Amino acid sequence: MLELLVGEVGSERENRLRTALQVLLVLLGAVAVVAGLYTVATGTAGMAGDNSATPNVESELRFYSVFWSAFGILALHAARRPERETVLLRGLALFLFLGGAARGAAWIASSRPDSQFIVLMGLELGLPLFIAWSQARIAAGTKPT
C-alpha cells in the first residue's frame, strides 16, 4: 500500500531518475555545443533583436562561446555515467547557476532583457538544483564495483 502512495522504491525509482538526468544532460550538452559553436561562427549577427555591438563585445562573446561549447561537451561526457561524475556534475551545476545569476545581475545593472533571456535565466537558476539533487540520489544508490 505504501508503494502506491510514494511510488516505486529502490532501484526502479533510481533508474528513472538516472534516465531523466541523462536525458537532461544530453539535451543541455547538445544545446550548449551547438549554440556555442554557432555563436563562435556568427557572433552578435546570430542573435535575435538588437545585435549591434562594439568590436570588443563581439570578441568577448565569441571567446566565451568556446567555453559554453566546452560546457556542453563535459555535460555530454557526464551523461554516460552520471552516478560516477559527482565532482564534474556539481561543477557544471555551479557554473550554470552562476551564469543565471550573472544574467540577473545584468538585468539589475542595465534593464529588462527580452523574454527568452528571462526564461533562460530561470532554467539556469533551476536546473542546477535538479542536477545536483538527482546526481546525489543516484550516486547514493550505486554500489561500488
| Tens digit of each residue's pLDDT (9 = 90 or more) over 17-36 | 999 999 999 999 999 999 99
At 145 the pLDDT is 52
pLDDT tens-digit series, residues 84-97: 999 999 999 999 99
C-alpha cell of residue 47: 542573435
Residue 72 CA to residue 31 CA, distance in Å, equals 7
At 22 the pLDDT is 97
Residue of 127, 68, 74 lying closest to 82 (CA atoms)? 74
At 128 the pLDDT is 98
What predicted TM-score, i.e. pTM, was given to this entire model? 0.85
